[in-house]
Amino acid sequence: MARMVFLGRLADVAGKGEAEFGFSSPLDWPDVIAWLEDAFSATLADSVRDPRTRLAINGEVLADRESLVLNIGDELAFLPPVSGG
Amino acid sequence: MSWLSFLPSVAASAVIDVRLLDAPFNPGLFIGPFTHAHPGLGGVCTFVGEVRGGDGIEALELSHYAPLTLPGMQALAADAVTRFDLLGMLVLHRTGVMLPGEPIVCVSAAAHHRRAAFDAIDFAMDHLKSDSWFWKRERRGGAWHWIEPRAQDHTDISRWG
């Protein structure tokens, strides 16, 4: 199980701010995108694919999100662009 | 060991106070004690940002992500203290739903000289606006609208190199 957190407008697209995802072996970027499509929508998957969307695992922002490895017990946050003034 | 090693460095003695607040606050209640904590300082500069009224704005909501937002603000304050050789820095930022006229942000810098205090506030505000983990939406006509990044924010932050 991992905890997924959707921030900003992504929470609206997902319809919720948080979700739990059960799995038995570590997940990579394509796995996560596929899960977003299946459990939520293609719209959410597209919003996450947007290169401006950053990812953080356990509070650490990933420099290269496509190399992510998600392990059981992790918290994965999806961070759309911050709003500015 | 020389006696010089007993003298605290400026940076080590600087007071850094960074907080996220989830309810309305009175900036003066924080600025007063912050100012008094630095006897003999050269100057204090304070900026308070409030929710703008007009344009049909009924409310503003700021959301954040706890594992990133406060640590990022603390790093920003520490960076400003080093960069501008400050005696202290106070950074207060609201989260949650706010009404027009309510303070959103309060930044105060104490320094030996006024220019450092002015510049530190300018630096901190540019970074809080465009490089901190906050997401903002406005309620107009009963509906919420997310606020997108503005080109001006990137122009502002690029001034600092």
Flag the least confident range among A69-73, A79-83, B33-37.
Answer: B33-37
* Sheet (strand B134-140) strand order: B96-98, B57-64, B134-140, B143-146
With contact defined as beta carbons under 8 Å apart, do B11 and B81 qualify?
yes
Cα B107 to Cα B119: distance, rounded to the nearest angstrom:
12
Distance CA(B47)–CA(B126), nearest Å, equals 12
For residue B6, pLDDT over 50 is answered with: no
Nearest residue of chain B to residue A55 (CA atoms): B68
Inter-residue contact A78 to A8 (CB < 8 Å): no
Cross-chain Cβ contact B65/A56 below 8 Å: yes
- Which of A13-22, B28-37, B64-73 is predicted least confidently? B28-37
d(CA B110, CA B89): 6
Rounded CA separation A39/B43 (Å): 56
ipTM of the complex: 0.92
- For A8, the closest of B71, B129, B135 (CB atoms) is B135
Cβ neighbors of B94 (< 8 A, separation 6 or more) are B20, B21, B22, B24, B25, B62, B102, B103, B104, B105
pLDDT exceeds cutoff 90 at B45: yes
Report the alpha-carbon distance of residue B24 to residue B6 in Å, rounded: 42
Nearest C-alpha in B relative to A5: B65
In Å, how far is B98's CA from the nearest CA of chain A? 15
Provide, as residue numbers in chain B, all residues whose Cβ is less than 8 Å from the Cβ of A47: none
For residues A67 and B151, what is the distance between their CA atoms, to the nearest angstrom? 29
Q: What is the mean pLDDT of chain B?
A: 89
Q: Do A82 and B132 touch (CB under 8 A)?
A: yes
Q: Cβ A79–B65 below 8 Å, yes or no?
A: yes
Q: What share of chain B is helix, strand, coil (3-state, %, to 5)?
A: 40, 35, 30
Contact at CB, B65 and A58, closer than 8 angstroms? no
Chain A: residue whose CA lies nearest to B127: A84
Say yes or no to pLDDT of B52 above 70. Answer: yes
Enter the DSSP assignment of A74: -
Rounded to a whole number of angstroms, the distance from the CA of B32 to the nearest CA of chain A is: 27
- pLDDT tens digits along B105-146: 999 999 999 999 999 999 999 999 888 999 999 999 999 999
Q: What is the pTM of this model?
A: 0.88
Quick one: pLDDT band at residue B12, thresholds 50, 70, 90?
Answer: low
Of A7, A11, A84, the CB nearest to B153: A84
